[in-house]
Amino acid sequence: MRRTLVLPVTLVAMALGFLISVQFQTQKGVSAAEQINEDRMSQMKSVLSNSQEKNISLHKEHSVLMKQLDVARKTVGVSPKLLAELNKFEILCGKQAVSGSGIHITIDDRESPFPLFSDDIATMINVLKFARAEAISLNGQRIVGSTAIVLSGSSNIVVNQVPINVTSETPYEINAIGNQDTLYDYFSKLIGVTLKESGMTVSIVKKTVSIPSYKGEYTFKNTVPLVP
């Protein structure tokens, strides 16, 4: 009878020992997992705290930079050096009316059997540019880098999308600012002689001239600044 009870008791004891061991290992694993989670949570809190501090620092830096930018913008309006640079760029792109010593040219082709065409006028402008003209206008239209001189219809010449010879009473008038002697010499010898031989009336006068600003707009659809 005693032997009969020994085996079941032994099996129960072994089972209890196994369960206790498993529970201990499980609890140990849970404790380890909890420790890992606590460590991760601590790390996350540390990262979050650092990020918040960095964010506050960036906000402060942004505020300082915006104030500096605002000061710089206000300074542009009063700084003689920056204002001079701005004026120079406006002159270069033709957005500012200018005056200076140069030459005034008038051309009347109404009595000539060979009236002027757009290519002829473009050649005149190129000669003046070659003579280092600093600013040029043709019948009140400022010549800039994007200026197109084209023939519209059979006789209308269009500059900056504006017809410049809408009536037969309007001669061609060109103003150019630059070295008067150089401009006069280049135009009279390279252009003036040929025009006179073609029966046109040509006048070239050295004087102070005024040139209007470019009334068009600059638009860039495909061009972007090249940033190094």
Spell out the SS3 assignment of 119-177: HHHHHHHHHHHHCCCCEEEECCEECCCCCCEEEECCCEEEECCEECCCCCCCCEEEEEE
Instruction: Report the SS3 class of residue 108.
Output: strand
Comparison of pLDDT for 154 and 177, the residue scoring more: 177
Q: Distance between alpha carbon 226 and the CA centroid of its chain, in Å? A: 9
Q: What is the mean pLDDT of residues 44-72?
A: 57
**Rounded CA separation 164/104 (Å):** 17
Check residue 164 and give its pLDDT: 84
The DSSP element (H or E) to which 88 belongs, if any, is helix 80-92
**Rounded CA separation 111/114 (Å):** 9
Q: What is the mean pLDDT of residues 195-211?
A: 95
**Rounded CA separation 85/73 (Å):** 14
CB-CB contact of 175 with 211 (8 Å)? yes
Mean pLDDT score of the chain, rounded to an integer? 76
Q: What percent of the chain shows pLDDT beyond 70?
A: 61
Query: Of the ranges 56-60, 67-71, 99-103, 153-157, which one carries the lowest mean pLDDT score?
Result: 56-60
Q: How far is CA 200 from CA 56, 174, 186, in A?
A: 76, 15, 18
Check residue 7 and give its pLDDT: 45
Q: What percent of the chain shows pLDDT beyond 90?
A: 35
